Amino acid sequence: MRGRTGPLLLLNASGCLDALTAPEVAATLDGFVTKTVTPLPRDGNAPVRIAETDVGMLNSIGLANPGIDRFVTTHLPQLAKLELPIWVSVGGFAADEYAELCSRLDDHAEVAAIELNVSCPNVASPAESVAQIVASACLATRKPVWAKLSPAVPDVTDVARAAQEAGADGLSLVNTMRGLKLDDRTLRSALEPGAGGLSGPALRPIALAAVHACFLATGLPIVGMGGVQCGRDALDLIAAGARHVALGTVLFADPQAPMRIRAQLAGELAARGYADVDDAYAVTHRESLSTTTTK
């Protein structure tokens, strides 16, 4: 089977957990993904920054973070004490900024992987294409580089293939999509910046479709994320081709979700007669893959 890279990792989605304020939650994951780090410190967007909708949650935090200097000198040593694989999410406004961020992280043994946030819906997008950013980043580090993509494009597999050709080791699918909520009384945007990133159950079928399509298009290992609430949701992503699964909005409502979802996933696998996660990995594609092979 293509795309195997070790056992299933249950991670958090970037920006959905602070391992330093909630280390007991981080300890229940197989790795911790940081909030996106940018070259310079950012306060983030003006409040109000979050709103609940009937089907999900909108956020417009705006990449609030201490900047790479303080992250490396202060945050990273504290995160290292958690003794968890640390995935650092990085974001910039130009390809050379991503390269600089990756280069700064390259010598830190505690960094297990770098996730390129090329898809934040709440800040200006980098002008260069995803391919250029990935290529620059891969030249700047020996760490595994994962590209986190937006589903809000005509065909996410075009972007996924471009990231693969540029050297990405894996894909993180998917980031939030822009959505808007109006205040009941004023009919103005509920969030101060206007629109925000939609996460939660509304995103689940979109994430599943992206994982499914990008697995077929690239065979790259994928961290699947988007609206996972229970073990069945995690199983769906795995079956569609996710090697790893990340939890986002569910962590806000249920900090015990990693343990619960792990237990539910084991139950879902057993109920279907799968020996383990590998047995269910990309099972959605098995018939089409074997058909392809026999042609």
Partner 1 sequence: MRRERRHVVATEKLGPYTMLHVDRGGLDPGVPGQFFMLEAPGRLLPRPMSLCLAPRGELAFLIDPIGPGTRALCRLERGDALTILGPLGNGFRLDVERPLLVGGGIGVAPLPYLAEALEHPRVVLGFRSDWHAQAAALLPRAEVCVEPRLVTELIEPGYDVLACGPEPMLEAVRGQAPAAQLAWEAPMACGFGACYGCAIEIEGVLKRLCVEGPVLCFS
Catalytic machinery residues:
120
Smallest gap from residue 174 Cβ to partner 1 (A): 18
22 contacts partner 1 (rule: CB under 8 A)? yes
Instruction: Say how far apart CA 47 and CA 275 lie, in whole Å.
Output: 48
Smallest gap from residue 229 Cβ to partner 1 (A): 9
Instruction: Say how far apart CA 245 and CA 265 lie, in whole Å.
Output: 11
223 contacts partner 1 (rule: CB under 8 A)? no
Among 103, 167, 209, 252, binds partner 1 (CB under 8 A): 252
Smallest gap from residue 20 Cβ to partner 1 (A): 8
201 contacts partner 1 (rule: CB under 8 A)? yes
184 contacts partner 1 (rule: CB under 8 A)? yes
Nearer to partner 1, 132 or 199 (CB): 199
181 contacts partner 1 (rule: CB under 8 A)? no
Among 1, 46, 139, 271, binds partner 1 (CB under 8 A): 46
- Footprint on residues 117-176 left by partner 1 (CB under 8 A): none
Strand partners, 86: 32, 111
Tokens representing 184 are 């009941």
Nearer to partner 1, 23 or 219 (CB): 23
State which H helix or E strand residue 59 sits in: strand 57-59
Stretch that binds partner 1, among 16-24, 125-133, 259-267, 275-283 (CB under 8 A): 16-24
Stretch that binds partner 1, among 56-64, 76-84, 101-109, 216-224 (CB under 8 A): 56-64
CB atoms within 10 A of CB 46: 11
207 contacts partner 1 (rule: CB under 8 A)? no
Nearer to partner 1, 196 or 221 (CB): 196
Contact partners, residue 83, CB within 8 Å, separation at least 6: none
DSSP 99: H
24 contacts partner 1 (rule: CB under 8 A)? yes
Q: Are strands 196-199 and 177-179 parallel, antiparallel or unpaired?
A: antiparallel
Instruction: Say how far apart CA 11 and CA 94 lie, in whole Å.
Output: 27
Output 42-50 pairs: Cβ under 8 A, ≥24 positions apart: 42/67, 45/122, 45/192, 45/193, 46/192, 46/193, 47/192, 48/190, 48/191, 48/192, 49/191, 49/192, 49/193, 49/196, 50/191, 50/196
Instruction: Say how far apart CA 220 and CA 116 lie, in whole Å.
Output: 15
Contact residues for partner 1, defined by CB under 8 A: 15-18, 21-22, 24-25, 35, 43-44, 46-52, 54, 56-57, 59, 61, 64, 184, 200-201, 249, 251-256
